């Protein structure tokens, strides 16, 4: 890679993407929504590869939300099937490329075959450290926060934790993203400008980048554009600009 060390410091460590617009992409072509979801998997492959090349260390992709159960059953079924096929087909190459896979979200409602393959993907890549790929599947930010609160409450109840020991670090550690850095850059495709219950805790200080591009058209050049926009942001974290003080 040609970039210098100083370029790298402005690369976001953790990028999260709300991959939106598959349905509209398909509808524009007179095809069923599920066709857009299949095309969306190709964009996932492009972006996972490009993100590693660009020096991003953690990528979290929103694949299926806790609210997406509101869709017709055949679409939900197709999304589950695509997730299973993607993990099954790509596990070997992701593993070889040093990718650690995590599936974040509610496990309980996953079909047994999907739960098995995601469990296998996590176990087989657990010792990889080059790149973190988190797939948010059956994920909702509020649901994740509630599950974390329940687990902490259980630990208190069992006498393993005191109430006063719960600080931000401890709470972060009870989330599905335990051990991972907060989100630096959140991207949403398809022109919508909302968070849709994604990474509510982790995105507390994320920069947002919205693009009208529909997810199946998202590629390396689009990701580069988002990183360029990020570079020009001034992250103040409640403080004032260096030099203004
Ligand atoms: C994103 O595309 C994929 C999922 C939410 C699973 P959509 O299916 O939401 O596409 P639009 O927003 O209807 O175009
Ligand atoms: C958010 O997209 C969820 C995923 C990308 C998986 P949606 O298309 O479901 O979001 P809303 O309903 O437009 O907010
Ligand atoms: Mg959508």
pLDDT digits (tens, 9 = 90+) for 217-228: 999 999 999 999
CA 180/CA 26 separation, integer angstroms: 34
pLDDT digits (tens, 9 = 90+) for 177-216: 999 999 999 999 999 999 999 999 999 999 999 999 999 9
**What is the pTM assigned to this prediction?**
0.95
What strand order describes the sheet that includes 14-18? 99-104, 131-139, 58-65, 14-18, 185-188, 207-210
| 215 touches ligand 2 (CB under 6 Å) | no
Q: Would you call 68 a catalytic residue per the annotation?
A: yes
Is the torsion defined by CA of 23, 220, 206, 147 positive or negative?
positive
Q: Which atom of ligand 2 is nearest to the CA of 192?
A: 13
Rg of the chain over all Cα atoms, to the nearest angstrom: 19
Average pLDDT taken over every residue of the chain: 95
pLDDT digits (tens, 9 = 90+) for 92-126: 999 999 999 999 999 999 999 999 999 999 999 99
Q: What phi-psi label fits residue 51: left (phi over 0), alpha (psi between -120 and 50 degrees) or beta?
A: alpha
Q: Tell whether domain 12-140+183-231 is in CATH 3.40.50.300.
A: no
Q: Would you call 164 a catalytic residue per the annotation?
A: no
CA 129/CA 101 separation, integer angstroms: 10
- The domain locations on the chain are 12-140+183-231
How far, in Å, from the CA of 134 to the mean position of ligand 3?
A: 20
């Amino acid at each position: 890679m040609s970039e210098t060390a100083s370029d790298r410091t402005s690369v976001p460590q953790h990028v999260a993407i709300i991959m939106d617009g598959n349905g509209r992409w398909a509808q524009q072509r007179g095809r069923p929504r599920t066709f857009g979801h299949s095309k969306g998997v190709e964009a996932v492959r492009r972006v996972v590869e490009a993100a590693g090349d660009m020096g991003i260390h953690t990528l979290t992709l929103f694949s299926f939300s806790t609210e997406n159960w509101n869709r017709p059953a055949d679409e939900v079924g197709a999304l589950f099937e695509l997730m299973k096929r993607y993990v099954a087909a790509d596990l070997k190459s992701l593993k070889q490329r040093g990718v650690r896979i995590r599936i974040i979200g509610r496990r309980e409602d996953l079909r047994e075959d999907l739960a098995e393959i995601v469990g296998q993907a996590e176990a087989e890549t657990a010792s990889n450290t080059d790149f973190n790929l988190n797939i948010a599947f059956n994920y909702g930010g509020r649901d994740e926060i509630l599950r974390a609160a329940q687990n902490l409450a259980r630990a208190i109840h069992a006498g393993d934790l005191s109430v006063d020991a719960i600080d931000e670090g401890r709470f972060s550690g009870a989330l599905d993203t335990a051990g991972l850095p907060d989100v630096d850059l959140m991207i949403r495709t398809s022109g919508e400008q909302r968070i849709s219950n994604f990474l509510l805790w982790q995105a507390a200080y994320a920069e947002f980048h919205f693009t009208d591009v529909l997810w199946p058209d998202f590629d390396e050049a689009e990701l580069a554009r988002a990183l360029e926009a990020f570079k020009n942001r001034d992250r103040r974290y409640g403080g004032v600009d260096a030099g203004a003080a």
